[in-house]
Chains A and B, each alone.
Chain A
Amino acid sequence: MLGLNKKDAGLFTIVIVLTMLAPFILNPFPENSELAQFNAGYPDLMQRFVIFGIFAIGFNILFGLTGYLSFGHAAFLGVGSYAAIWMMKLLTLNVIPAIIMGIIFAGLCGGGVGFVARSRSGIYFSILTLAFAQMSYALAYSVLTPITGGETGLQIKATDSPLMSSVPEGEIGRANLFGLEMGSSYELSVGGWLFTFNAGYYIAAVCMLIAFYLSIRLFRSPFGMMLRAVKSNQQRMNYTGLNSKPYTLAAFVISGMYAGLAGGLMVAMDTQVGPERMFWTASGEVVLMAILGGVGTLIGPVLGAGMIKYMENIISKINDNILHQWFAFMPDGIEDFMVFIIHPFIGKGWHLTLGIVFMLVVIFLPGGLVEGGQRIGRLFGRKKRAEAEAESTAKTPAE
């Protein structure tokens, strides 16, 4: 199917089904139940799942394949966002030109930065990319204020009148796709459940699927093979007469374009940008996502992005009262003790949970969640086989 082998086609189909049915899958608990706070099926969070998924897929093309650890990837996200919002302010409120512009600008910046940074490898590359990202953050914050809006960032205002869209006087324009507004959603109420189907989410999801498909093709292509060769032994590659630099540069630009796509989509969903999007912590976050999910695997980064964004939203929402409800069945003293123990890890302390989970993953599961899944799968597989063998051996003497 579509030039994919059977295994990849299976994976791709699963991803398609999961993203399309996400409003159902992420809302497993009825609206009024106590567990409803674990529901992730609201548009804002689902959009973030897929957008950061795209960002992480792009990062993975660079880090997972070539082994170049970029610590400044958020800069391209920011550039894409700024380009997209200017398209919306000036040309049209339709999201497609904005997204395309985001990709192009991020790609151009990726080309420039990559051209300089690729001349060094190892930690020098990380520091160079970090330096570029911090520079663009600082510039967006101070000198480039006429273009970036400085600290307040950019929003679509009532005074903006895009050339090709007619916005009524004094009204703030909303992002749309040929008239379909990003914020519009259809709500389906079945029993106690409420499912929200959001236009913006599905547009972002389609972008994610295309991005995912392209990354599968890239992973399986000769070009992807070259990138892997860069990672495993660049020197040997050079000795065989191949110049590895154009390949790494191309990977850098591609992954920058993915970041630009994510930035453009972010603007399409929520029409505002601020320089903090380019800060190095944002770059660190995408590194965490890719590592947590599994670097170098196809689905890993998407899983990692989903997990971090889920934790960020859900864990930070839990508070002491909810904990008291959970442990209400315990004797009072133990209940208070449990709440006391868990308290630092919830609410505002979710970064602590994230840090610990991340450390545990790096220490024990260098392959991330994907490797964890494979290990569990193997464990069960072996158990089944062992059981089958035990059964067969148990049966034979009885005969």
Chain B
Amino acid sequence: MEALILQVLNGLDKGSAYALIALGLTLIFGTLGVVNFAHGALFMIGAFCAVTLQRLLSLSREIVDETKTDFLGNPLKVDIPYLYDWFGADAGQSIINWSVPLAILFSIPIMVIVGFAMERGLIKHFYKRPHADQILVTFGLAIVLQEIIKYFYGANPIPTPAPPAFTGSFDFGVLLGFDPFQIVYPYWRLIYFSFAMIIIAGVFAFLQFTTFGMVVRAGMADRETVGMLGINIDKRFTIMFAIAACVAGLAGVMYTPINSPNYHMGMDFLVLSFVVVVVGGMGSLPGAVLAGFLLGILESFASMAQVIAIIPGINQIIIYLVAIIVLLTRPRGLMGRKGVMEE
């Protein structure tokens, strides 16, 4: 029982990342009708926003500390971050430590700008082209974006730790009445899951309860009619694209303490997220979220030692296997509508 709960919890954080990316993909597909292969790159750009902010905050000046010497007997050079000068050593250090949560604020304007630039600069011209062309041009864009990141940040993963307050893990089992140390779960993963839930709820609430969201939903159902009613639906769809980019970017920012970001993390997640979208049903927002968590949890169950002992290698292929089974038995995915992307 403990093991099962632990696996569900373990699946939640990866599932949250899948769900957030798949949600953005579905938003873009539902509104603009574009299959965005560059969505993983947006996730990666978000992660590198956190890295950039961390580096910006730790910008430092070099001073010679006369009181200390290095092993050769020379005076030691010490880097003092500018933040120490401005806020004092303690407050400065804690700001640096909190760079990942702060990066949420930092990344929103960046992701909005990136999203706008992508939609207005490139994707706008591809509405009328076949889906294959859209896939290919965004695939090319993804390569370009990830190579640019690689050029500036190098090929190695860059560690971006969570704030010290959240680095430990807590005993989840005690809460449920199990023995101590049976179900131990890192704080940050719990935060990531809650964060994902808040974002998902926010997006759904935005679509469901605001006038803007109502217009967007109407546009998703019948774009032409909404346009004829005198509403500039293109402008609203562009804003939705920026929001989708933001969702992917925030998912990336918060994911950095779980996995150190590297330049190809976007592509790694993208392939799986597409599988998630297809399993959930192309064009269905609840389907994307559901399938994201479902596949995340299934993956973590499949990597249990007992399961691997029965079916070796299952942890590597479970997601693809599920995708194949779902596509063949329920061709439109779990919650897909009829006639979406059929030809």
Query: In the complex, which of the residues B142, B320, B342 contacts A134, with contact meaning CB atoms closer than 8 Å?
Result: B320
By a CB distance below 8 angstroms, the chain B residues around A354 are: 143
* Contact yes or no, B316 A116, CB < 8 A: no
| Known A-B contacts A139-B316, A143-B313; A124 and B151 likewise in contact (beta carbons under 8 Å) | no
Q: Report how many residues on chain B are interfacial, defined by Cβ distance under 8 Å.
A: 40
> Does A20 have its Cβ within 8 Å of any Cβ on chain B?
no
* Contact of B324 with A362 in the complex, beta carbons under 8 Å: no
Residues in B316-339 with C-beta less than 8 Å from chain A: 316-317, 320-321, 323-324, 327-328, 331
Does B324 lie within 8 Å of A128, measured CB to CB?
A: yes
Question: Contacting B320 at CB < 8 Å: which of A131, A234, A359?
Answer: A131
The 8 closest A-B pairs by CB, nearest first: A143-B313, A355-B143, A138-B316, A352-B147, A359-B140, A131-B320, A355-B144, A358-B140
30 example contacts (A-B, Cβ-Cβ < 8 A) are as follows A120-B331, A122-B343, A124-B282, A124-B327, A130-B271, A130-B274, A131-B320, A132-B320, A135-B316, A135-B320, A135-B321, A139-B316, A139-B317, A142-B316, A144-B313, A291-B136, A349-B151, A351-B143, A351-B147, A352-B151, A354-B143, A355-B140, A355-B147, A358-B140, A358-B143, A359-B137, A362-B133, A363-B125, A363-B137, A366-B129
Question: How long is the Cα–Cα vector from A69 to B137 in the complex, in angstroms?
Answer: 14
> Are A141 and B144 in touch, CB under 8 angstroms?
no
Classify chain A's interface size.
35 or more
Q: Does B35 contact A (CB under 8 A)?
A: yes
| A interface SS class | helix
Among A128, A132, A355, find the residue whose CB has the most chain B CB atoms closer than 10 A.
A355
Chain B contacts for A144, CB-based, 8 A? 313
- A139 in complex: contacting residue of B129, B133, B313, CB < 8 Å: B313
Which residues in window 133-149 of B have CB below 8 A to A? Answer: 133, 135-137, 139-144, 147-148
Q: Nearest CB to that of A119 among chain B residues?
A: B328
Known: A121-B342, A130-B271. Contact between A284 and B139, CB under 8 A? yes
| Assembled-state Cα–Cα distance A147/B122 (Å) | 45
Chain B residues in contact with chain A, CB under 8 A? 35, 122, 125, 129, 131-133, 135-137, 139-144, 147-148, 150-151, 267, 271, 274-275, 278, 282, 312-313, 316-317, 320-321, 323-324, 327-328, 331, 341-343
**Chain B residues near A121 (CB, 8 Å)?**
342-343
Using CB atoms, name the residue of chain A closest to B316.
Answer: A138
Of the candidates A69, A234, A362, the one whose C-beta lies within 8 Å of that of B140 is A362
Q: Which of A278-311 contact B (CB under 8 A)?
A: 280-281, 284, 287, 291
Chain A residues with a Cβ under 8 A of chain B: 67, 69, 116, 119-124, 126-128, 130-132, 134-135, 138-139, 141-144, 234-235, 280-281, 284, 287, 291, 344, 349, 351-352, 354-356, 358-359, 362-363, 366
Question: In the bound complex, what is the Cα–Cα distance between A363 and B134 (angstroms)?
Answer: 10
- A366 proximity list for chain B (CB < 8 A): 129, 133
The smallest C-beta distance from B58 to any residue of chain A, in angstroms, reads 25
Contact A132 B312 (CB under 8 A): no
A122 near B136 with CB under 8 A, answer no
User: Is there an interface contact between A69 and B343, defined as CB atoms closer than 8 Å?
Assistant: no
Chain B residues whose CB sits within 8 angstroms of the CB of A143 once the complex forms: 312-313, 316
CB distance from B146 to the nearest CB of A (A): 8
